[in-house]
Amino acid sequence: MSHKLGIIGFGGMGGFHFNEIRDRLSDFLIVKGVYDVREERQQFAIDNGLIAYGTRESLLNDPEIDMVLVATPNNFHKEISIDALRHGKNVICEKPVTMNSGELREIMAAAKETGKVFTVHQNRRWDRDFRIIKETVDSGIIGKPYMVESRVQGSKRVLQEWRGRKENGGGMIFDWGIHLLDQMMTLDKSKVKEVYCDTFSIFTDEVDDNFKAIIKFESGLNALIQVDTNCFINQPRWHLLCEEGTAEISDWSCRGKIVRLKDENELAWDSVIVYTEAGPTRTMAPRPRETTEEIPLPTVDTDWCEFYKNVTAAIEGKEELKVKPEESLRVMNVIDKLFESAKSGRSITVNI
């Protein structure tokens, strides 16, 4: 069965969806047309063989379109998603789904009322680095995780145009934080019990251009999530401490390693002081290399296209949605608390 998609907001990400669907998914999904408030993007759509609907209403009234993708700046997501659902369309909304959890609840009520499928494009659940970390945890190869650090660090100070404006839902918590938090809450599905967040506005006036958040899970896992936009020497993308070893993924290449103890006996306390270049130490002295072993990270098979395959299968009633609105609601509930913590400068006890 072939589905027809209409895209509302045909900018960078709308264009990305169009290219992906045309090049890789055309056997079951076709982009019929778009609506964008900017004339040049309407023209770009026409130049690429698409219909550029004169109004949002006319796109939503096209009976051939059964799916709508919302890829506008964040503050328009709620209103457009609800409008599309009420026109009988199934809706994929870009991340962050809304500006806060209350707005998402309104969309979920509209989805319930109309019986249509609503989901969020949390495509980074299919990122290879995340999948490797998830497989490392799920396989138990280095035991129970207790601390994980997930960082995305760049130096391009990318908060241009609407991404730098508060009213549009700009800032790094909404731009990248939402992906990292969604990944974290997919990695550990236990309740979030405490959150703390520090935001920085180094090169922006209105929004956070860098932030650091700590999320404590009921399982005992503590997570650090950090996004930097002015960092010239990056820390590892992932650093995972488990009871029986450590895993690391260095960067976008997904290269990294797992290091674990070779022999339980080697845990014996050694009281010798080691003289390092930095100074003497006993407790933190580098351990002899022969007492540990390095093993490769697990290999994983993953593809962003799985998202669309799942959404269309869910519309056809053949599969459960992989990105469920209830999961996004949990993430948005945590996001609300991150902003609250950043404002108050305190950690907040929660039960999400």
Is residue 11 a contact point for ligand NAD (CB under 6 A)?
Answer: yes
In angstroms, the first-to-last Cα distance of the chain is: 38
Task: Compare residues 89 and 216 and give the one whose CB is closer to ligand NAD.
Answer: 89
Using the contact rule CB under 6 A, the part of the chain among 37-45, 147-155, 301-309, 321-329 near ligand NAD is 37-45
Is residue 41 a contact point for ligand NAD (CB under 6 A)?
Answer: yes
Task: Compare residues 11 and 145 and give the one whose CB is closer to ligand NAD.
Answer: 11
Distance of closest approach, residue 255 Cβ to ligand NAD, in angstroms:
22
Q: Of these, 76, 196, 238, 308, which contacts ligand NAD (CB under 6 A)?
A: 76
Alpha carbons 343 and 330: distance in angstroms, whole number: 20
Using the contact rule CB under 6 A, the part of the chain among 2-10, 19-27, 180-188, 263-271 near ligand NAD is 2-10
Is residue 123 a contact point for ligand NAD (CB under 6 A)?
Answer: yes
Neighbouring residues of 6: CB distance < 8 A, sequence distance ≥ 6: 31, 32, 33, 34, 35, 53, 59, 60, 62, 65, 67, 68, 69, 89
| Tokens of residue 104, six digits | 């998402």
Upstream peptide bond of 145 is cis (omega within 30 degrees of 0): no
Is residue 37 a contact point for ligand NAD (CB under 6 A)?
Answer: yes
| Tokens of residue 196, six digits | 């703390």
Using the contact rule CB under 6 A, the part of the chain among 65-73, 180-188, 272-280, 297-305 near ligand NAD is 65-73
Distance of closest approach, residue 162 Cβ to ligand NAD, in angstroms:
6
Taking the CA of residue 157 as centre, how many other CA atoms within 13 Å lie in the half-sphere pointing to its CB? 7
Count Cβ neighbours within 10 Å for each residue of 195-211 and write b for 16 or more, e otherwise: bbbebbbeebeebbbbb
Is residue 95 a contact point for ligand NAD (CB under 6 A)?
Answer: yes
Report helix, strand or coil for 130: helix
Q: Of these, 1, 2, 19, 38, which contacts ligand NAD (CB under 6 A)?
A: 38
Using the contact rule CB under 6 A, the part of the chain among 11-19, 263-271, 292-300, 303-311 near ligand NAD is 11-19
Roughly what angle, to the nearest 10 degrees, separates helices 128-139 and 178-187? 20
Using the contact rule CB under 6 A, the part of the chain among 70-78, 137-145, 221-229, 284-292 near ligand NAD is 70-78
Is residue 72 a contact point for ligand NAD (CB under 6 A)?
Answer: yes
Is residue 36 a contact point for ligand NAD (CB under 6 A)?
Answer: yes
Using the contact rule CB under 6 A, the part of the chain among 21-29, 32-40, 299-307, 309-317 near ligand NAD is 32-40
Is residue 9 a contact point for ligand NAD (CB under 6 A)?
Answer: yes
Phi, psi dihedrals of residue 158, rounded to the nearest 5°? -75, 10
Task: Compare residues 123 and 153 and give the one whose CB is closer to ligand NAD.
Answer: 123
Please say whether the beta carbons of 199 and 208 come within 8 A: yes
Q: What is the DSSP string of 103-116?
A: HHHHHHHHHHHHT-
Neighbouring residues of 291: CB distance < 8 A, sequence distance ≥ 6: 261, 262, 263, 266
Task: Compare residues 182 and 248 and give the one whose CB is closer to ligand NAD.
Answer: 182
Taking the CA of residue 146 as centre, how many other CA atoms within 13 Å lie in the half-sphere pointing to its CB? 5
Q: Write out the binding residues for ligand NAD, residues 147-166 only, by CB under 6 A.
A: 162
Task: Compare residues 12 and 286 and give the one whose CB is closer to ligand NAD.
Answer: 12
Is residue 168 a contact point for ligand NAD (CB under 6 A)?
Answer: no
Is residue 322 a contact point for ligand NAD (CB under 6 A)?
Answer: no
Residue number of the CB closest to ligand NAD reads 11
Please say whether the beta carbons of 261 and 143 come within 8 A: no
Contact residues for ligand NAD, defined by CB under 6 A: 8-14, 35-38, 41, 71-74, 76, 94-95, 121, 123, 162
